[in-house]
């Protein structure tokens, strides 16, 4: 079935939710930045958000582990995102696992209003359990991209973020000194009691 130009134009402005998930060091933020830069290149109105608590690389930018960056608006709650999104065509949200569960409704509302929403975040915490609003976001997403790191022990695809320091808090901002990507087998071996 062929689409007419009118139908294609109409299709372009429909809202959708895209989720990019995976372990630490898997390229989630890199992929988010890539998609957002393409939207900006296409002259779409873009706004990017991150949780205010994430100040690892920058207080006001979303920054990938390999130092690619894009300007962002730090917010304390998911509801704050709606305050900044009038007349916006594409919304990017990084580190979604740190947001409150209201993020699911915020993303749904934006998509229902015709906004393309691109969300990146960890799907599991260091214990291998679903993290924050990410499972619900994956469930309602129009598209889910699971990206993988490389296991630092064996070189296989890694899906787990293994914490290498003693700390039981679910949220511990960190980098290579605190976390390493592991495959399922190496994660099980590392966390065996």
Q: Are 183 and 152 in contact (CB under 8 A)?
A: no
**CA distance to 121, 128, 170, per residue, from 18 (Å):** 11, 22, 25
Active-site amino acid positions: 95
Q: Are 117 and 17 in contact (CB under 8 A)?
A: yes
The CB density around residue 13, as the number of other CB atoms within 10 Å, is 10
Give CA torsion, residues 69, 131, 26, 182, to 10 deg: 140
Matching residue, tokens 């260091």: 126
């Amino acid at each position: 079935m062929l689409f007419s130009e009118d139908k294609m134009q109409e299709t372009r402005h429909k809202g959708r939710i895209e989720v990019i998930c995976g372990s630490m060091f898997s390229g989630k933020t890199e992929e988010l930045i890539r998609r957002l830069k393409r939207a900006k290149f296409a002259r779409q109105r873009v706004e990017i958000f991150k949780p205010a608590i994430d100040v690892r690389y920058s207080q006001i930018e979303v920054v990938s582990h390999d130092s690619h960056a894009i300007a962002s608006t730090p917010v304390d709650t998911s509801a704050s995102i709606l305050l900044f999104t009038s007349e916006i065509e594409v919304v990017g949200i990084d580190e979604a696992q740190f947001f409150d569960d209201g993020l699911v409704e915020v993303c749904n509302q934006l998509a229902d209003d015709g906004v393309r929403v691109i969300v990146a975040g960890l799907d599991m915490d260091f214990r291998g359990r679903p993290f924050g609003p990410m499972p619900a976001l994956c469930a309602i997403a129009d598209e889910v991209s699971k990206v993988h790191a490389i296991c630092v022990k064996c070189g296989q695809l890694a899906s787990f973020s293994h914490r290498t320091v003693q700390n039981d808090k679910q949220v511990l901002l960190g980098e290579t000194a605190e976390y390493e990507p592991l495959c399922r087998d190496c994660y099980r071996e590392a966390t065996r009691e």
